[in-house]
Amino acid sequence: MLERIAGARFLIRNGTEILIERVHEHNPETLRLFLLGSCMGAVLFQRGMIPLHGNAIATSKGALVLCGESGAGKSTLAAVLHQRGYQVLADDICAVHLNPNGAPIVAPGYPRLKLWADTLAHFATSSDGLQRIRPELEKYHIPVHDAFCAHPQPLAAVYVLAVTNTPRPAITPVTGIAKLQTLKDHLYKMRLPEAHALWPNMFSSLSTVARRARVRVLTRPDRAFLLDELADLAEADYLA
């Protein structure tokens, strides 16, 4: 499947090597997208790190990781927070590892956000001069070098964005054993043949993260941005 779309086969070995075999001609931007996405997720997994699917923002209290299903609005919320002066720490993949004291740390990732055309329009930002992530998609790279945090940050909170049919955004704590399940649900998705063998270590690390980090579900209504209200809820929560 990946082979047909990316035009290449990928083999990731020992968390240190990515071998690429070009199968047929394809766009280098498309190849790069999968390299930085699925392949990097596999590398992190093989290294015993926890790759979460989402964005991370640096705050005075540590890293906020924004997770959620595809389409829930992680990147859009990250863009609002970026506009409010927060530094971007990671985009798309958040690499979490435990330091020698067992504290979860988020590593700096890619200094960019990927935003769709409608989101740019919402921010009254033109796509002129911006590079598409792939020629075929109306989705753009937004460089954030001017507001990028290049240093690892302790993980403070994980917010899971979800779309609901209630009229206003809301925030709900996730507690107890549900925290572990929630984190597991938001690992970066990839198909790894050896995933089963690596799972016991991952489970142990995830349990530690679940104990140490605050986890919340942040819900927003479908089809209505209400971004400021959503960002206000997140800010009020992590500052509390």
Partner 1 sequence: MNIIWLASYPKSGNTWMRVFLTNYLRNADTPADINDLEFMGMASNRDLFDTYAGIESSDLTHEEIYAARPAVYRLLAQDSSDSPELRFIKVHDAYTRLPDGCPLFPADATKGAIYIIRNPLDVAVSRRAHFNETLDQAVAGMANPKARFAATQRALRTQLRYTLGAWSSHVCSWLDSPTGFPVHVVRYEDMSQHPYDTFAQVLAFVGLPIQPVRLEQALRFSQFDTLQRQETAHGFRERPQPMARFFRSGKIGSWQEQLTAAQLAQIIADHGTVMRRFGYLSDSCLLPQPEGGNPHTG
What are the φ/ψ torsions at residue 8 (nearest 5 degrees)? -155, 160
- Name residues contacting partner 1, limited to 35-74 (CB under 8 A): 37-38, 69-72
Residue 10 pairs in a beta bridge with: 20
Shortest reach from residue 234's CB to partner 1, in Å: 20
- Three-point CA angle 232, 162, 32, nearest 5°: 100
Q: Residue 164, interface with partner 1 (CB under 8 A)?
A: yes
Using CB under 8 A, pick the residue from 55, 59, 87, 119 that binds partner 1.
119
Q: Pick the closer one to partner 1 by CB: 4 or 151.
A: 4
Q: Pick the closer one to partner 1 by CB: 88 or 187.
A: 187
Using CB under 8 A, pick the residue from 11, 117, 150, 178 that binds partner 1.
117
Question: Is the separation of the CB atoms in 150 and 108 below 8 Å?
Answer: yes
Task: Give the containing element (helix H, strand E) for 45.
Answer: helix 40-46
Question: Is the separation of the CB atoms in 74 and 119 below 8 Å?
Answer: no
Q: Residue 118, interface with partner 1 (CB under 8 A)?
A: yes
CA atoms of 96 and 56, how far apart (whole Å): 10
Distance of CA 201 to the CA centre of its chain: 21
Strands 153-164 and 8-13: unpaired
Binding mask 123-142 for partner 1 (x = CB under 8 A): ----------xx-xxxx---
How many residues belong to the site for partner 1 (CB under 8 A)? 36
* Interacting residues with partner 1 (CB under 8 A): 1-2, 4-5, 33-34, 37-38, 69-72, 92, 116-119, 121, 133-134, 136-139, 163-167, 189-191, 221-224
